[in-house]
Amino acid sequence: MEPVETAPAEANARPEALSAATMCEAFQLTADEYAESPALRLKDSDYEASFAEYAETVKRRAAGLAALGVGRGDTVGFMLVNRPALHLTDGAAMHLGATCFSLYNTSSPEQIEYVVADAANRVLVTEQAFLEPVLKVREEVDSLEHVVVVDGEAPEGTISIEELEAMGDPGFDFEAAWRAVEPEDVLCLIYTSGTTGPPKGVQLTHSNMLGVWRATDQVRPVKPGGRGISFLPTAHIADRWAGLYAQMIYGSTVYCCPNPREMVAYSIEVKPTAWGGVPRIWEKLKAMLEGAMAAEQDPEKRKAAEWAMEIGRRKVAAYMDGDIPDDLQAEWDRADELVFSKIRQALGLDEVESFIVGAAPTPPEVLEFFLAMGIEICETWGMSETSAVTTLNPPGGIRPGTVGPPVPGVEVKLAEDGEVMVRGSQVMKGYRNMPEKTAETFTEDGWLLTGDVGELDERGYLKIVDRKKELIINAAGKNMSPANIEAKVKAASTLVAQVVAIGDGRSYNVALITLDPETLAMRGAAEDDPAIAEEVAAAVEEANQRLSRVEQIKRHKIIPGEWEPGGDELTPTMKLKRRPIERKYDAEIEALYS
């Protein structure tokens, strides 16, 4: 499948949809402007829908959902992989004024039941792969009446997507329905991963989502009519923000990638113009590229790569100082022509206009590695509660180790204990069905308490130290950031996949470490290979040299196997579940202290 040239747009023209009052209006403006341009594509298939077809399908499905009783203020749930059916049906519900939410595909029946009961949705849209747990939940949750199946034959008691479209009233007034939607209506629910208790339903309004895009567009303008890949879970704010709602504003073609592990390979085919991801993707790419350079058999090519990287590192140092000499820039341009441009092309990243990373801290070494080869990754920070983006490193002014300054229209300040506080138009309406928790999360004068501890530098760039509740306070009362300790270890070896630093209330720190299966496979090594254990020990020692004495890891243990997103150890967005990890590996931890 070749990437498609989409409708041209003037370089400085900003989309009219940015001025819309609701996401419904934004979609209608964009669908009209880009009617004949491709809107949706699906990996490993010939599927393609233009914006005109997208809009017509939304209209039909909206009528069908209305026939099921869905209206303004109702909720509609989704449990789907990244596929066009999500965009088409979510968009339909949105135009009715309904609030949409997605379930993580790794959720257990108990987790699905909790979220569906809290959301009280009468309709849930799913596919064959998730039908069994969804039907079990319908037996337990009285509010769930209708299950819509988007693929294959719908079993008795469920509704196929074709049946849904056919049941709409021909006289349904679609335009009146979407024009009745107001800016402060709740657009979507984002359920938190629930690492510190039951998931909370973050209520984001149409105004919140448009506000965050108006803000980020001023820092990092998006090319209208570009190309992007939807691969992150739609239950997470990142994919809704960048994969679903961005398209409704910018008229981009979204390529749906059902298997997130195939996203990097898919980039080669798609050649996206915007590329976003979590730090682990960039860490793996760095490991892959370093491994390829080290394994290069042609001495001339290996020498050229080493020469180019040396020039790249010098340019990064000059970039940080804010002054790149002309002769250094000329050297780098030559290195780019001979080496770096070919690497970007091989990765399918040669047409990307902006790179972004978020959801977890990115090691500065990773950002500097890619910056050396001309890939400027703008690290961001935000939460579901702040509609994805609160701070953002601006193109041309990134500072590795920080998450950038606040985007326009957002205020950020630090409480006395360093907790980051946020105020602005993109901050959530509150938690669904949790007035007490909502009240606890806001100060009396409207500041959102984020739970993150941070620092602001002299230029107003924010550095996230760690989660307030996850800071290590050792037996001597010393405060430490486990995330900082863990990042140093991961940066020291491509073998390391996950690190958990432990030391709260203890006299010294220890760590549990898992290995990267792809790196092991590339080397043809086993987890229990003594040479692997020695390399991990060397990585811990290297990290310790970059940590204060009290932060250093005194003992560590390699945990066999891979920690999967949505499993016992990681949230679906790959955040560490620290307390569950400590409970599960209690014996191993105690042995490190014995």
Domains and CATH numbers, the chain: 21-36+49-260 (3.40.50.12780), 279-350+353-468 (3.40.50.12780), 471-593 (3.30.300.30)
Strands 146-149 and 186-191: unpaired
Reduced to 3 states (helix: H, G, I; strand: E, B; else coil), residue 445 is coil
Helices (H), 35-108: 51-67, 84-95
Residues 278, 574 contacting (CB under 8 angstroms)? yes
CB 553 within 8 A of CB 510: yes
As a whole number of Å, the end-to-end CA separation of the chain is 58
| Closest among 37, 425, 507 to 216, alpha carbons compared | 425
452: enclosing H helix or E strand: strand 448-456
3-class SS at 280? helix
Q: Per-residue pLDDT for the chain (594 aa), expressed as one digit of tens each?
A: 444 443 333 445 789 999 999 999 999 999 999 999 999 999 999 999 999 999 999 999 999 999 999 999 999 999 999 999 999 999 999 999 999 999 999 888 888 999 999 999 999 999 999 999 999 999 999 999 999 999 999 999 999 999 999 999 999 999 999 999 999 999 999 998 755 567 899 999 999 999 999 999 999 998 899 999 999 899 989 999 999 999 999 999 999 999 988 988 899 999 999 988 888 788 888 888 888 888 878 889 889 999 999 999 999 999 988 889 999 999 999 999 999 999 999 988 989 988 898 877 788 888 999 999 999 999 999 999 999 999 999 999 999 989 999 999 999 999 999 999 999 999 999 999 999 999 999 999 999 999 888 999 999 999 988 888 888 888 877 778 888 898 889 888 888 999 999 998 888 999 999 998 888 888 888 888 899 999 999 999 999 998 888 889 999 999 999 998 878 888 777 788 888 899 999 999 999 998
d(CA 228, CA 564): 25
For tokens 């006289």, the residue is 171
Amino acid identity of residue 579, one-letter, is: R
Buried b (16+ CB within 10 A) or exposed e, 576-592: bbbeebeeebeeebeeb
Cα distance between residue 502 and residue 509, in whole Å: 6
Please give the Cα distance from 60 to 92 (Å, whole number).
Answer: 8
CA distance 231 to 229: 6
- Of 335, 403, 108, 359, give the one whose Cα is nearest residue 237: 359
What is the model's pLDDT at position 195?
57
Give the count of beta carbons closer than 10 Å to the beta carbon of residue 195: 17
Tell me the two tokens of residue 361: 């801290």
Residue that has been written with the tokens 């699905």 in this structure: 112
- Encoded tokens for 236: 């997470």
What string of H, E and C letters represents the secondary structure of 128-149?
HHHHHHHHHHHHHCCCCCEEEE
3 state SS of 552: coil
Residue with tokens 């419904």: 24
Alpha carbons 61 and 395: distance in angstroms, whole number: 40
Kind plus residue range of the DSSP H or E element containing 118: helix 109-119
SS3 335: helix
Question: What pLDDT, on a 0 to 100 scale, did the predictor assign at position 196?
Answer: 58
Confidence at residue 112, expressed as pLDDT on a 0 to 100 scale: 92
Helix (H/G/I), strand (E/B), else coil: 250: helix
Contacting residues for 445 by C-beta, under 8 A, at least 6 apart: none
Query: What is the pTM assigned to this prediction?
Result: 0.85
Is residue 409 a contact partner of residue 425, using CB atoms and an 8 Å limit? yes
Sheet containing strand 448-456, edge to edge, reads: 410-414, 419-424, 448-456, 462-467
Longest pairwise C-alpha distance within the chain: 74
- Cβ neighbours of residue 316 under 8 Å, at least 6 residues apart? 368, 371, 372
Report which residue type is found at 13.
Answer: A
